[in-house]
Amino acid sequence: MDFLKNDETKKTLIRTGILFLVFIIYTLLVTKVNVAELPVTLTDGTLADPSSAEVGFSKLNNAIHLAINYNGTWYLISKCLGILAFAVVAFFAFLGCAQLFTSKSIAKVDKDLFVLAGFYVLVLATYILFEKVTLNYRPFILDVEEGLEGSYPSSHAMLGMCVFITAAMQFKNRLKNKNVNLTVRIICMALAILTVVSRLLSGVHWFTDIIGGVLVSAFLISLYKTVFLIVINMNKESFD
Protein backbone atom coordinates (compact mmCIF):
# COMPACT_ATOMS: atom_id res chain seq x y z
CA MET A 1 0.00 0.00 0.00
CA ASP A 2 2.99 2.30 -0.59
CA PHE A 3 0.97 4.30 -3.12
CA LEU A 4 -1.14 5.63 -0.22
CA LYS A 5 1.97 7.35 1.13
CA ASN A 6 1.60 9.89 -1.66
CA ASP A 7 0.29 13.12 -0.09
CA GLU A 8 -1.96 14.05 -3.02
CA THR A 9 -3.52 10.58 -3.05
CA LYS A 10 -4.19 10.70 0.69
CA LYS A 11 -5.74 14.17 0.48
CA THR A 12 -7.96 13.13 -2.43
CA LEU A 13 -9.02 9.96 -0.61
CA ILE A 14 -9.97 11.96 2.49
CA ARG A 15 -11.84 14.52 0.38
CA THR A 16 -13.73 11.69 -1.32
CA GLY A 17 -14.82 10.31 2.05
CA ILE A 18 -15.96 13.74 3.22
CA LEU A 19 -17.92 14.39 0.03
CA PHE A 20 -19.63 11.01 0.36
CA LEU A 21 -20.71 11.82 3.92
CA VAL A 22 -21.91 15.28 2.88
CA PHE A 23 -24.04 13.76 0.11
CA ILE A 24 -25.52 11.12 2.43
CA ILE A 25 -26.33 13.68 5.15
CA TYR A 26 -27.81 16.09 2.60
CA THR A 27 -29.94 13.30 1.11
CA LEU A 28 -31.28 12.40 4.55
CA LEU A 29 -32.12 16.05 5.19
CA VAL A 30 -34.01 16.23 1.89
CA THR A 31 -36.22 13.37 3.07
CA LYS A 32 -36.82 14.78 6.57
CA VAL A 33 -36.73 18.60 6.65
CA ASN A 34 -39.86 20.66 5.92
CA VAL A 35 -41.52 17.85 3.95
CA ALA A 36 -44.88 18.93 2.51
CA GLU A 37 -47.23 18.29 -0.39
CA LEU A 38 -46.50 20.56 -3.35
CA PRO A 39 -48.59 20.83 -6.53
CA VAL A 40 -47.54 18.86 -9.60
CA THR A 41 -48.65 20.27 -12.94
CA LEU A 42 -48.34 19.67 -16.64
CA THR A 43 -45.94 21.97 -18.50
CA ASP A 44 -48.88 24.20 -19.50
CA GLY A 45 -49.64 24.89 -15.84
CA THR A 46 -52.76 22.73 -15.47
CA LEU A 47 -52.90 20.36 -12.51
CA ALA A 48 -51.72 16.85 -13.24
CA ASP A 49 -53.03 13.55 -11.93
CA PRO A 50 -51.81 12.99 -9.26
CA SER A 51 -51.89 16.69 -8.50
CA SER A 52 -49.32 16.79 -5.68
CA ALA A 53 -46.24 15.06 -4.28
CA GLU A 54 -44.28 15.21 -1.03
CA VAL A 55 -41.09 17.28 -1.28
CA GLY A 56 -38.42 18.07 1.30
CA PHE A 57 -37.29 21.66 1.93
CA SER A 58 -40.72 22.47 0.51
CA LYS A 59 -40.73 26.23 1.22
CA LEU A 60 -37.35 26.78 -0.44
CA ASN A 61 -38.16 24.50 -3.36
CA ASN A 62 -41.58 26.02 -3.96
CA ALA A 63 -40.28 29.60 -3.86
CA ILE A 64 -37.58 28.85 -6.45
CA HIS A 65 -40.00 26.77 -8.52
CA LEU A 66 -42.54 29.62 -8.68
CA ALA A 67 -39.79 32.07 -9.65
CA ILE A 68 -38.46 29.86 -12.48
CA ASN A 69 -41.47 27.82 -13.66
CA TYR A 70 -41.08 25.67 -16.80
CA ASN A 71 -38.82 26.94 -19.59
CA GLY A 72 -38.88 24.89 -22.79
CA THR A 73 -35.80 26.58 -24.27
CA TRP A 74 -33.57 25.75 -21.31
CA TYR A 75 -35.05 22.25 -21.23
CA LEU A 76 -34.05 21.74 -24.88
CA ILE A 77 -30.56 23.11 -24.19
CA SER A 78 -30.15 20.70 -21.27
CA LYS A 79 -31.27 17.78 -23.47
CA CYS A 80 -28.74 18.74 -26.17
CA LEU A 81 -25.98 18.94 -23.57
CA GLY A 82 -26.97 15.48 -22.37
CA ILE A 83 -26.58 14.15 -25.91
CA LEU A 84 -23.18 15.86 -26.15
CA ALA A 85 -22.12 14.18 -22.90
CA PHE A 86 -22.97 10.77 -24.38
CA ALA A 87 -20.91 11.72 -27.45
CA VAL A 88 -17.93 12.40 -25.18
CA VAL A 89 -18.38 8.98 -23.55
CA ALA A 90 -18.46 7.42 -27.04
CA PHE A 91 -15.27 9.30 -27.99
CA PHE A 92 -13.28 7.86 -25.09
CA ALA A 93 -14.74 4.40 -25.71
CA PHE A 94 -13.57 4.70 -29.33
CA LEU A 95 -10.14 5.88 -28.15
CA GLY A 96 -9.75 2.81 -25.95
CA CYS A 97 -10.92 0.46 -28.72
CA ALA A 98 -8.54 2.14 -31.19
CA GLN A 99 -5.60 1.60 -28.83
CA LEU A 100 -6.58 -2.04 -28.39
CA PHE A 101 -6.92 -2.54 -32.14
CA THR A 102 -3.59 -0.93 -33.04
CA SER A 103 -1.55 -2.48 -30.21
CA LYS A 104 -3.22 -5.93 -30.35
CA SER A 105 -2.79 -6.09 -26.57
CA ILE A 106 -5.13 -5.01 -23.79
CA ALA A 107 -2.07 -4.43 -21.60
CA LYS A 108 -1.00 -1.59 -23.89
CA VAL A 109 -4.26 0.33 -23.56
CA ASP A 110 -3.82 3.39 -21.32
CA LYS A 111 -4.63 2.43 -17.73
CA ASP A 112 -6.49 5.68 -17.12
CA LEU A 113 -8.98 4.69 -19.83
CA PHE A 114 -9.85 1.59 -17.81
CA VAL A 115 -10.35 3.82 -14.78
CA LEU A 116 -12.56 6.11 -16.87
CA ALA A 117 -14.59 3.14 -18.14
CA GLY A 118 -15.11 1.95 -14.57
CA PHE A 119 -16.15 5.47 -13.62
CA TYR A 120 -18.77 5.56 -16.39
CA VAL A 121 -20.16 2.23 -15.13
CA LEU A 122 -20.34 3.67 -11.59
CA VAL A 123 -22.20 6.75 -12.83
CA LEU A 124 -24.66 4.48 -14.65
CA ALA A 125 -25.11 2.36 -11.51
CA THR A 126 -25.79 5.50 -9.47
CA TYR A 127 -28.40 6.58 -12.00
CA ILE A 128 -30.11 3.17 -11.88
CA LEU A 129 -30.05 3.20 -8.06
CA PHE A 130 -31.93 6.49 -7.83
CA GLU A 131 -34.32 5.41 -10.57
CA LYS A 132 -35.30 2.54 -8.27
CA VAL A 133 -35.18 4.52 -5.01
CA THR A 134 -37.45 7.54 -5.54
CA LEU A 135 -36.92 10.33 -2.99
CA ASN A 136 -38.53 13.22 -4.87
CA TYR A 137 -40.86 13.64 -7.83
CA ARG A 138 -40.58 16.27 -10.55
CA PRO A 139 -42.64 19.48 -10.20
CA PHE A 140 -43.93 18.85 -13.73
CA ILE A 141 -45.21 15.79 -15.54
CA LEU A 142 -43.41 15.85 -18.87
CA ASP A 143 -45.05 12.72 -20.25
CA VAL A 144 -48.67 12.02 -19.28
CA GLU A 145 -48.24 8.31 -20.00
CA GLU A 146 -45.17 8.12 -17.75
CA GLY A 147 -46.84 10.07 -14.94
CA LEU A 148 -44.77 11.12 -11.94
CA GLU A 149 -41.03 10.70 -12.44
CA GLY A 150 -38.31 10.56 -9.82
CA SER A 151 -36.16 13.68 -9.79
CA TYR A 152 -33.57 13.31 -7.00
CA PRO A 153 -30.74 13.76 -7.62
CA SER A 154 -30.77 15.45 -11.02
CA SER A 155 -29.34 12.79 -13.33
CA HIS A 156 -28.70 15.39 -16.04
CA ALA A 157 -26.62 17.51 -13.67
CA MET A 158 -24.77 14.38 -12.55
CA LEU A 159 -24.13 13.25 -16.13
CA GLY A 160 -22.94 16.66 -17.29
CA MET A 161 -20.58 17.23 -14.39
CA CYS A 162 -19.20 13.69 -14.32
CA VAL A 163 -18.58 13.41 -18.06
CA PHE A 164 -17.35 16.91 -18.88
CA ILE A 165 -15.13 17.36 -15.81
CA THR A 166 -13.44 13.96 -16.17
CA ALA A 167 -13.03 14.74 -19.88
CA ALA A 168 -11.17 17.91 -18.89
CA MET A 169 -8.94 15.80 -16.64
CA GLN A 170 -8.29 13.37 -19.51
CA PHE A 171 -7.50 16.09 -22.04
CA LYS A 172 -5.09 17.72 -19.59
CA ASN A 173 -2.83 14.66 -19.91
CA ARG A 174 -3.41 14.03 -23.62
CA LEU A 175 -3.21 17.36 -25.46
CA LYS A 176 0.39 18.50 -25.94
CA ASN A 177 -0.25 22.03 -27.18
CA LYS A 178 -0.65 24.19 -24.07
CA ASN A 179 -3.07 26.68 -25.63
CA VAL A 180 -5.27 23.96 -27.11
CA ASN A 181 -5.09 22.03 -23.84
CA LEU A 182 -6.24 25.02 -21.80
CA THR A 183 -8.97 25.98 -24.28
CA VAL A 184 -10.45 22.48 -24.42
CA ARG A 185 -10.43 22.16 -20.63
CA ILE A 186 -12.14 25.54 -20.22
CA ILE A 187 -14.81 24.45 -22.72
CA CYS A 188 -15.34 21.19 -20.82
CA MET A 189 -15.74 23.00 -17.51
CA ALA A 190 -18.09 25.55 -19.11
CA LEU A 191 -20.23 22.72 -20.51
CA ALA A 192 -20.41 21.11 -17.06
CA ILE A 193 -21.58 24.38 -15.49
CA LEU A 194 -24.00 25.09 -18.34
CA THR A 195 -25.58 21.65 -17.94
CA VAL A 196 -26.29 22.30 -14.27
CA VAL A 197 -27.57 25.84 -14.90
CA SER A 198 -29.75 24.81 -17.84
CA ARG A 199 -31.31 22.00 -15.85
CA LEU A 200 -32.11 24.40 -13.00
CA LEU A 201 -33.53 27.10 -15.29
CA SER A 202 -35.59 24.57 -17.25
CA GLY A 203 -37.70 24.15 -14.11
CA VAL A 204 -38.08 20.37 -14.43
CA HIS A 205 -36.31 19.75 -11.12
CA TRP A 206 -36.66 21.06 -7.61
CA PHE A 207 -33.70 23.16 -6.48
CA THR A 208 -32.64 20.50 -3.98
CA ASP A 209 -32.51 17.94 -6.82
CA ILE A 210 -29.92 20.06 -8.60
CA ILE A 211 -27.83 20.46 -5.44
CA GLY A 212 -28.05 16.71 -4.89
CA GLY A 213 -26.82 16.12 -8.44
CA VAL A 214 -23.87 18.46 -7.88
CA LEU A 215 -22.94 16.80 -4.57
CA VAL A 216 -23.09 13.23 -5.85
CA SER A 217 -21.06 14.33 -8.90
CA ALA A 218 -18.42 15.91 -6.68
CA PHE A 219 -18.13 12.64 -4.74
CA LEU A 220 -17.94 10.48 -7.88
CA ILE A 221 -15.37 12.74 -9.57
CA SER A 222 -13.24 12.80 -6.43
CA LEU A 223 -13.45 9.00 -6.28
CA TYR A 224 -12.37 8.84 -9.93
CA LYS A 225 -9.39 11.08 -9.21
CA THR A 226 -8.46 8.95 -6.19
CA VAL A 227 -8.45 5.72 -8.20
CA PHE A 228 -6.64 7.47 -11.06
CA LEU A 229 -3.86 8.61 -8.72
CA ILE A 230 -3.60 5.15 -7.15
CA VAL A 231 -3.24 3.52 -10.57
CA ILE A 232 -0.62 6.08 -11.64
CA ASN A 233 1.38 5.58 -8.43
CA MET A 234 1.15 1.78 -8.70
CA ASN A 235 2.54 2.00 -12.24
CA LYS A 236 5.41 4.16 -11.01
CA GLU A 237 6.19 1.63 -8.26
CA SER A 238 6.22 -1.23 -10.76
CA PHE A 239 8.96 0.55 -12.73
CA ASP A 240 11.06 1.50 -9.69
Residue 212, phi then psi, degrees to nearest 5: -60, -40
Alpha-carbon distance of 68 to 66, in angstroms, equals 6
Whether the Cβ atoms of residue 171 and residue 184 lie closer than 8 Å to each other: yes
Q: Which amino acid is at 142?
A: L
- List, in order, residues 6 or more apart from 34 with CB less than 8 Å away: 56, 57, 58, 59, 60
Alpha-carbon distance of 77 to 92, in angstroms, equals 23
C-alpha angle 173/217/136, rounded to 5°?
160
pTM greater than 0.75 (yes/no): yes
> Would strands 47-55 and 140-141 be described as parallel, antiparallel, or unpaired?
unpaired
Alpha-carbon distance of 96 to 106, in angstroms, equals 9
Residuewise pLDDT in 10s, the chain (240 residues): 555 566 778 899 999 999 999 999 999 999 999 898 887 777 666 666 666 778 989 999 999 998 998 898 999 999 999 999 999 999 999 999 999 998 888 888 888 899 999 999 999 999 999 988 888 888 887 776 667 788 899 999 999 999 999 999 999 989 999 999 999 999 999 999 999 999 999 998 999 999 999 999 999 999 999 998 888 777 655 444
